[in-house]
Amino acid sequence: MLSRSAEDLYWMARYVERAENTARLLDVSYRMALLPSEGDDQTLLWGSAIAIGPAPESFYERYGEATPDNVLTYMALDEDNPSSIYSALKTARENARAQRTSITTEMWEALNTVWLELRDIDAGAIEQMGRRSFFDWIKERSHLFRGVAYGTMLRDEGFQFVRLGTFLERADSTARMLDVKYHVLLPSADDVGGARDYHQWGAVLRSAASFTSYRKIYRGEIVPSHVAELLILREDVPRSLHTCLNAVTETLDLLAPARKLESKRLAGRIRADLQYANIDDIIDKGLHEFLENFIERNERVGRQLQTDFLMAPVIDLSVTA
Amino acid sequence: MNCFDEMNGSGGDCRDAYRKISEWLENETPETLARKRDEADAIFRRLGITFLVYGEKGSAERLIPFDVLPRVLTSAEWNTIDTGCVQRVKALNAFLDDVYHGGEIVKAGKVPQELVYQNPLYMPEVHGIDVPFGVHSHISGIDVVRTGADEFYVLEDNLRTPSGVSYMLEGRNVMMRLFPELFTNMRVRPIENYAEILLSNLRAVAPDNATGESSIVLMTPGRFNSAYFEHVFLAEQMGITLVEGQDLFVEDGHVFMRTIAGPERVDVIYRRLDDEFMDPLAFRADSALGVPGIVSVLRQGNVTLANAIGNGIADDKSVYPYVPDMIRFYLGEEPIIANVPTWKLREPDDLAYALDHLGEMVVKEVRGSGGYGMLVGPTSTTQEIEDYRKRVLADPADFIAQPTLALSTCPTFVETGVAPRHVDLRPFVLAGKTVSMVPGAFTRVALRDGSLVVNSSQGGGTKDTWVLS
């Protein structure tokens, strides 16, 4: 398979996953904002949503304050924010368009349809349909796209790159979400078990579609360390870091069984660390530091893929001519 | 203008080929037809069968209007078109192979030397390069027009990167979906094997030294090209890799593509990129779309390009008047389909005649295309004609003139209902070890009443073309 095709498919999947995760993040922020709050809680809450993104400074430069409306516009519809739902789906669709021969017609149609609809949506339209309904719609479209990909795509290398993109992005997103929300919530971690706390942690779990899983696994009240364990270490939780890295290492083995690749080594080490880690150790040494380190290593795997599969940028001859 | 209608002939009685269509139309209401048309549009849009219109804001993606009324040709009519186009492509390939080698036709005085060797479309960079079976134009679009029951003319040849075949194939798919009952009743010959024939031809023209299963790719200028959809479509139909210039590189006298498992050798490139962009080392140095060094690989016989570089010399409008002579010279046959009578304005007698009759003629730039920069005398104002006269006088060799043909019309569904509209025909001739065509073509229709310009960039639409068995 062409290296460029692999790269396009990888980014297509990453951007669809990113759109979904942004919708999840906004959704959890709205759920949290529904609680009675004091002082600057609201600013902290919405600021944390911005802090997750790649370039919070650019938000404050252009919007000033992290009000709910500003955050929604920036993260859902802003054409100049490369991680907004709008930009993510636009990029995903462009990548798909470039790879029409590597994906199935059904995949193209699923992505093209959501893009054509999203193009006509503005802030007013979101108000009209209801914000939560908008987030649900984005999540559903992402589920649909993934389902169609799994249901129709030939299990060739292209499919493996779709998986790589999905799981690397999801790992990044879960780690960032946990990192930022943990910060916001930590000050109240002492009165574990309060109704307010219950709601807040519940929202974090819901954003990772893990609320009912938590209930099944831990049964009792919502304890922050359990939430961290669930989203970091559990192998049976589909959005946990461990599950994502299992998928990444498996996929790399399928893609290049006989090759010794640096990306395989890097991903394998992260996975091993997650497999043998203990949540109390992680919290003792600092959850924030752990997550920061994870995000950095996860990104390094992504960069290494470029080298290992010749996806390096091409030298542009036109510049010198 | 009194012109031949393909359904009602010149008199008004329905011709045999259209009898079933005519009966069907009597029972269809404009509402049903409009609904079918909208359905067709929806399918085209969902499949992404769009083309980009350059110059509009952000190169907008647009649909070419699709007319749901088919154009019907009898098997006898098709036989003329088929044998005539195949004959023509054989001669054109012989001409290309000749002028890039010995130039026998020039030596024999059949084609003026300066017209070939001083023509900017002649590419000295590829002179002397041998191509498998002497085939330079593997895919040729021959534009045919009709003026009467048995009168067909070739209007022009397209031997570089002709497009439109995806409309022929997808138009048929859509029609079979919308009107299955017509197909059951009418015995329409299938065209679905186009991609298969093309692929086997591409395999056949692989270099002799290609090892094992030859590696064939389709090369596109990229997703911003107006015909990108078609490139995707064809690559998909043939199951070959769609590449861009940046995916290919030249090393040790071979072309390779970058794959996730390392470099992989490429033997045949079906390219949809214009000559001057193909190799920045040989042609335009500022092209980032091509593959540096690919001409040197051609010269070593290690890769085949379809179509070959330099074909412009055979489909140039100034060379067009000589095609009948090419047929006689190379094949020893008489042309089955005639050329449109053409005045070569580089010649004083022809120029004088044309200047006297500008108001009745169609005048074209020899290197123009897409319906731009031409004069259609009968529909132009005196001022437009006089302005054009000045342009012609400034450089007569840049122009040819032809009589304004009464192009045939076909029933077409337009705003006012079903009405006759002018059409042309572009069948695609495929050349490899053998030369052949599928029984179908890309029919373009001028949707405006009275208009003779069928180009999609100028408001033309398309129709499915049915050849009866």
State yes or no: pLDDT of A318 exceeds 60.
no
For residues A57 and B90, what is the distance between their CA atoms, to the nearest angstrom?
66
Residues in chain B within 8 Å Cβ distance of A91: none
Residues in chain B within 8 Å Cβ distance of A263: none
Instruction: Provide the shortest C-alpha distance from residue B273 to chain A (in Å).
Output: 16
In this prediction, residues A272-289 reach a mean pLDDT of: 93
Residues in chain A within 8 Å Cβ distance of B278: none
pLDDT tens for residues B284-332?
888 888 999 999 999 999 999 999 999 999 999 999 999 999 999 999 9
Nearest CA in chain A to B44: A109
Would you state the pLDDT for residue B124?
A: 95
Do B389 and B45 form a contact (C-beta atoms < 8 A)?
no
For residues B177 and A109, what is the distance between their CA atoms, to the nearest angstrom?
18
For residues B462 and B167, what is the distance between their CA atoms, to the nearest angstrom?
8
For residues A294 and B74, what is the distance between their CA atoms, to the nearest angstrom?
70
Angle between helix B30-47 and helix B165-178 axes, rounded to 10 deg: 130
Task: List, as ranges, residues 291-330 from B with C-beta within 8 Å of A.
Answer: 292
Cβ neighbours of B43 (radius 10 Å): 16
Determine whether the interchain pair B280/A105 forms a contact, defined as Cβ–Cβ distance below 8 Å.
Answer: no
Determine whether the interchain pair B259/A112 forms a contact, defined as Cβ–Cβ distance below 8 Å.
Answer: no
From B47, B241, B260, residue closest to A157, measured CB to CB: B260
A317: contact with B, CB 8 A cutoff: yes
Find out whether the peptide bond into B307 is cis, omega within 30 degrees of 0: yes
Instruction: Provide the shortest C-alpha distance from residue B261 to chain A (in Å).
Output: 7
Percent of chain B having pLDDT more than 90?
76
In this prediction, residues A161-183 reach a mean pLDDT of: 90
Percent of chain A having pLDDT more than 70?
90
For residues B457 and A210, what is the distance between their CA atoms, to the nearest angstrom?
54
From A256, A310, A317, residue closest to B258, measured CB to CB: A310
Domains and CATH numbers, chain B: 16-335+406-467 (no CATH), 341-403 (3.30.1490.270)
Determine whether the interchain pair B246/A314 forms a contact, defined as Cβ–Cβ distance below 8 Å.
Answer: yes
Q: Can you give the residue ranges of every domain in chain A?
A: 1-153, 160-308
Nearest CA in chain A to B234: A101
> Helix or strand or coil: residue B52?
strand
Residues in chain A within 8 Å Cβ distance of B244: 4
From B243, B260, B280, residue closest to A309, measured CB to CB: B260
pLDDT tens for residues B59-107?
456 778 899 999 999 999 999 999 999 999 999 999 999 999 999 999 9
Determine whether the interchain pair A2/B259 forms a contact, defined as Cβ–Cβ distance below 8 Å.
Answer: yes
pTM for this entry: 0.82
- Closest by Cα among A189, A176, A211, A130 to A290: A176
At B7, the pLDDT band (50, 70, 90 cuts) reads very high
Integer-rounded Cα radius of gyration of chain B: 22
From B46, B257, B260, residue closest to A109, measured CB to CB: B46
ipTM over 0.90: no
pLDDT tens for residues A87-122?
999 999 999 988 888 899 899 989 999 998 998 899
Instruction: Provide the shortest C-alpha distance from residue A134 to chain B (in Å).
Output: 23
From B46, B236, B260, residue closest to A6, measured CB to CB: B260
Would you state the pLDDT for residue A231?
A: 95
- Closest by Cα among B136, B172, B153, B226 to B40: B172
pLDDT tens for residues B101-155?
999 999 999 999 999 999 999 999 999 999 999 999 999 999 999 999 999 999 9
For residues A205 and A201, what is the distance between their CA atoms, to the nearest angstrom?
6
